[in-house]
Amino acid sequence: MAIEDQAKLEIALREFAARICRWSYGPTRSSVGDLLSSRMPLISPDRPNWATLYNMIVKKCKHGEDEIKPNIAVSKCLFDLSITPGWHAANFDMGRMPTSFNHTTQFWQDVVFENEHGLCIPCFDFRSTPILNSRKIRNLVYSLQNYWVRERHPDLFDAKLCIISVPKKGGKRTIEFDFEDDADLMKRAELNDRISAVYNIWSMILMQENAQVRKTGTGGTNPFNF
């Protein structure tokens, strides 16, 4: 990776670390299957209504209104999407992709959907200001999806890769789709180099922040606590 690209990556990761807060979209992410009305093969139970899903999301939120409000806003968008005509979703176990650092990564949900765009493998960005918003970042996401999901599962070989974001516009959340149409998909070797660069720079940032915490004695949260 070029030095200029490494410098840009470090800036992006430092900005990301600065935006990490004590709550997360975990309650919504863990409920995507229910919100999108995904089905197990050959099983079609009655879909849960919004009141049931609302209560489920609220119970999963452990950090009060700061966590409840954004999770409910995003969850309602996904629920409304699931009741649009022609929408179908199904659970599909894709697993997490191991890296060479004894970690795993996952830019997909264990669900696929089909609508007017055809069969799709989604990655969700729930932040009010999406971070998967540049073509380079999206190329990396699509390359990971292609390598770990599409190439490993023949049933999904013709599925489209997409990123679903839920940005805040005009004071409310909206659903936006981005597809792989113009993506420059990377091969495995290049993916390894990219992942290595991210982990190396992220580890350096963590070490610097932990050293600052020890120096000031102020404590702090785990930056990986998404």
Look at residue 47 and tell me if it is in a domain. yes
Predicted pLDDT at 114: 93
Instruction: Convert the pLDDT of each residue in 75-120 to its tens digit.
Output: 999 999 999 998 999 999 999 888 766 778 888 999 999 999 999 9
The whole-angstrom separation of Cα 153 and Cα 68 is: 36
CA dist 115 and 74 (Å) reads 20
193 occurs within a structural domain: yes
Asked whether residue 222 is domain-assigned, the answer is no
Residue 225 lies in a domain: no
Range of the structural domain that residue 74 is part of: 3-216
Residue 224 falls within a domain, yes or no?
A: no
Tally of domains within the chain: 1
Q: Tell whether 109 is covered by a domain.
A: yes
| Residue 222 buriedness (CB in 10 A; 0-12 / 13-18 / 19+) | exposed
**Among candidate residues 100, 105, 81, 99, the one with its CA nearest the CA of residue 32:** 81
**Environment class of 45 (CB within 10 Å of its CB; exposed 0-12, middle 13-18, buried 19+):** exposed
Tokens of 166: 């839920």
pLDDT by residue (tens digit) across 192-218?
887 777 777 767 776 776 665 444 443
Burial class (CB in 10 A: 0-12, 13-18, 19+), 11: exposed
Whether 223 maps to a domain, the answer reads no
Residue 221 in any domain: the answer is no
